[in-house]
Amino acid sequence: MAAIDDETNAQVARPSESRRDPEQLRARLDAWLKTKAGDDARVTAVTIPESNGMSSETLLAEASWDGEDRRLVVRVAPQADSDPVFPHYDLDGQFRVIEHVRAHSDIPLPRLWWSEPGDDALGAPFFVMDRIDGEVPPDVMPYTFGSWVADASREDRTRLMRETISVLARVHAVPVPDVFVAQPTGDDTPLRAHVRRLREFYDWASRDRAGSGLIERGFAWIEEHLPETPENVFTWGDARIGNIMYRDFTPVAVLDWEMAAVGPRELDLAWTIFLHRFFQDLAELAGMEGLPDFLRREDVAAEYLKQTGHRPTDLDFYTTYAALIHAVIMFRIQCRAIHFGHAQEPADPDEMILHRATLEAMLAGTYWGQIK
């Protein structure tokens, strides 16, 4: 795996294309807003951030109604011709999930305004929420390469970890909704249903191309080591610090709920742990120290136990499963990069997995023993 040595190379892993004209979007959003907030409503500006995400598109809008200026975020399902990362997008479902979380917890969330399930206004479904000021640990370049997180004191990073685990604890106390999140069917356990959905996503992502032998070995390992899951809770799904906006190392907005599901709470804990290790491994590969003492597996587990009384179990399994989930997503993102001409098709499909060495070591049972 080659080291990431500049922002251009990092962007290859997550291309984001928007060919839409901001002024045209402003006019269309302005016309739509009048149907929701009255004839005096105005959208005065729309911008498309350079760091737009891998899945849905984000627009930043300046608007006003009822005599008040508003700063808004508009999350829009991707256009069909953008070769979306995922096969299906349910923006209205995500809106309802956030409403549900807000109604049953004190988790910091942006204020929601409207969900538009139709395509007429912007060409795709979208929802509108308030924009909140704060800092997000960056993905590009990764926060382990140097950032406000890396520049913070160890005490402040510990506070960030503690507050982040508090978010997870509160998420897991939210009652499971009857709708809006993926539910197991038939004799499936929630975990087995989760694995099945990942398999279906990978089969879709690898259609019409050579698949990854490493990913196939990963699925076989998961099936062989699947643990019992007597307790299942509401899970956030994309539980990582890059989806939290912080102010003074305290969360002020928890974002991106499209992966919410029913399952073991270790799914979220392992995703938090693994995504940090992913960025930490990249930093070390690039010859940087990174943040080896941050979000360590044992520290996350101990803090979660302290806050909830639940001792996380089977973290070898769940962190390996997190690495497999990320491998499937990275495989799909690289397919998209190839589609847009940002990357070349490798001779070995396993090279499309940026953390190939990590997943191989996890499957071999050697990864955690080599962590500093």
pLDDT top residue among 106 and 51: 106
SS (H, E, C) 154-188: HHHHHHHHHHHHHHHHHHHCCCCCCCCCECCCCCC
Q: If we measure between CA atoms, which residue out of 328, 217, 195 comes closest to residue 267? A: 195
CA neighbours closer than 13 Å in the CB half-sphere of residue 94: 28
pLDDT for the residue numbered 179 = 74
Q: Is residue 66 pLDDT above 70, yes or no?
A: yes
How many CB atoms lie under 10 A from the CB of residue 86? 17
- Catalytic positions are 238
| 58 phi/psi in degrees, rounded to 5 | -115, 130
pLDDT for the residue numbered 4 = 40
118-140, pLDDT tens digit by residue? 999 999 999 999 999 999 999 98
Which of 50-64, 166-180, 219-233, 339-353 is predicted with the least confidence, judged by mean pLDDT? Answer: 50-64
pLDDT classification of 19: cutoffs 50, 70, 90? low
pLDDT for the residue numbered 205 = 94
pLDDT for the residue numbered 3 = 38
Cα 364 to the chain's mean position, in Å?
A: 26
Residues counted in the chain: 372
333-366, pLDDT tens digit by residue? 999 889 888 899 999 999 999 999 999 999 999 9
pLDDT for the residue numbered 13 = 36
The percent of residues above 70 in pLDDT, for the chain, comes to: 93
pLDDT for the residue numbered 9 = 37
pLDDT for the residue numbered 54 = 58
250-279, pLDDT tens digit by residue? 999 999 999 999 999 999 999 999 999 999
Are 66 and 37 in contact, with CB atoms under 8 Å apart? yes
Question: What residue type is 236 in one-letter code?
Answer: W
Per 3-state DSSP, the chain is made up of helix, strand and coil in percentages (nearest 5) of: 45, 15, 40
pLDDT classification of 184: cutoffs 50, 70, 90? confident
Distance in angstroms (rounded) separating the CA atoms of residues 335 and 349: 10
Distances in Å between the alpha carbon of 78 and those of 17, 199, 331?
10, 22, 19
Q: Is residue 325 pLDDT above 80, yes or no?
A: yes
pLDDT for the residue numbered 36 = 97
pLDDT classification of 15: cutoffs 50, 70, 90? very low
Distance in angstroms (rounded) separating the CA atoms of residues 93 and 133: 25
Are 163 and 249 in contact, with CB atoms under 8 Å apart? yes
Domains in the chain with CATH codes = 17-50+52-130 (3.30.200.20), 143-370 (3.90.1200.10)
240-253, pLDDT tens digit by residue? 999 999 999 999 99
Distance in angstroms (rounded) separating the CA atoms of residues 333 and 327: 10
